[in-house]
Structure 1
Amino acid sequence: MKKKWEKQMDPNNKYGGAFILGDQDIELPPNAVVSVTRGERFNIPRLIINGMLNQMIMKAMSKNENLLYAELKGQLEGGVGQTMTVWKAGKEMNSFRTSGVHNFSRKFFSWVFYSGKVQSYFLTWKCNGRIPTYEEAAEIVTTNGRHFNGGKLVRKAQQPIDTNKKPS
């Protein structure tokens, strides 16, 4: 069965919205992982390019049987883009990341995330039975994720202590 993306507009922010694939309240396998990519301070050209690349990647995601859930959210204000994906296991996520359109995007458009004033964050961790909310994922990735400031590595990734606790 082919999965379908649903578009959701933010009722509190006319410049924000999301694309959701799957159900956040699913039962997760024991090895399921969450992977979050977050960019902040994208200028308009970077937001446009990131959006176009996401459209191509979204098509490939909807066909991947190992992807359990995906959420792409963006806000024009602050130039924020965040992608959260949930996979059956880490090897499936890594296989998707390093092949096809995602790998092409990583290689040829890395400057979108790694230059200018962009703050970039990347982190993959074990789900521990539940998928975090957008806000929880943002807190976890910005606190624990690999962080780049304008392309310069500021911090290496570290695993969150307990992802079942709500961030304070």
Structure 2
Amino acid sequence: MQREWTLVERTQTGGRLVLGERPDELPADTVVSITLGAGFGLWQFILNGIASHFVMKQCLKMPGLVYGELASDLKTGFSLTLTVWKGQAMREFRDNKAHGWSKRMLWWVFYGGKAEAWFLTYQDRRLPDVAEAKRLAETYGRHYKQGGLVRPQRKPERSADPTNT
């Protein structure tokens, strides 16, 4: 797997980065993780970008990370992280080092003001694109609005791919 983040799309107010080659089909033992933030103000977007920079560096060192994709747009205050992990590797990453620190210390950044956030972790053999990942997170993800839990995570429907078991 290529171990550097690559800019694959750039707009005036955002872009998309990927880590690794996008798999056509996911192995059965992988977990898809989606983090979606929306409604970020300028200061939240900047702090999110700084925290993401450190987390992205940590991703490069995680052997259990199969694929990563980041998409954002400053104009709309949108930020999406899509990752694919082997087995339990996501838990180790989520709770430790740069990501664990960001989660504990910058919680207020992601939930203050008019910001909303969704978190979704699930198993499937198909990897969604950014638009589908956003829809899945908004439909099934654990949803926070202005710091309060709106809805817990629900289990998403599995793709129609017959290889899913």
TM-score (norm 1): 0.90
Provide the C-alpha distance between the structure 2 equivalents of 1:164 and 1:115, rounded to a whole number of angstroms.
37
Alignment partner of 2:22 out of 21, 24, 37: 24
SS at 2:40 equivalent? coil
Q: Over aligned residue pairs, what C-alpha RMSD do you find?
A: 1.5
Alignment partner of 1:119 out of 113, 116, 121: 116
Correspondence 1:138 to 2:134: yes
Q: How many angstroms does 1:19 deviate by?
A: 1.2
Provide the C-alpha distance between the structure 2 equivalents of 1:164 and 1:71, rounded to a whole number of angstroms.
23
Correspondence 1:72 to 2:70: yes
Q: How many angstroms does 1:117 deviate by?
A: 0.6
Alignment partner of 1:109 out of 106, 124, 128: 106
Correspondence 1:52 to 2:23: no
Q: Which consecutive aligned stretches of 4+ in structure 1 deviate over 3 angstroms post-superposition?
A: none
Q: Note the residue ranges of structure 1 that are not aligned, 5 or more in a row.
A: none
Provide the C-alpha distance between the structure 1 equivalents of 2:100 and 2:160, rounded to a whole number of angstroms.
31
- Cα pair 1:2 1:63 within 8 Å, conserved: no
Cα deviation, 1:62-102, whole Å, max 9, x if unaligned, reads 1111000001110012100010110012x210111001110
SS at 2:67 equivalent? strand
Q: How many angstroms does 1:50 deviate by?
A: 0.4
Judged with a 3 Å threshold, the aligned counterparts in structure 2 of structure 1 residues 156 and 74 are, in CA distance, closer, same or farther, namely: same
TM-score (norm 2): 0.92
- Cα pair 1:122 1:147 within 8 Å, conserved: yes
Q: Note the residue ranges of structure 2 that are not aligned, 5 or more in a row.
A: none
Identity of aligned residues (%): 37
The corresponding residue for 1:147 is: 143
Q: Which amino acid letter does the alignment assign opposite residue 15 of structure 1? A: T
Q: Greater CA deviation, 64-73 or 28-37? A: 28-37
Q: How many angstroms does 1:115 deviate by?
A: 1.7
SS at 2:28 equivalent? coil
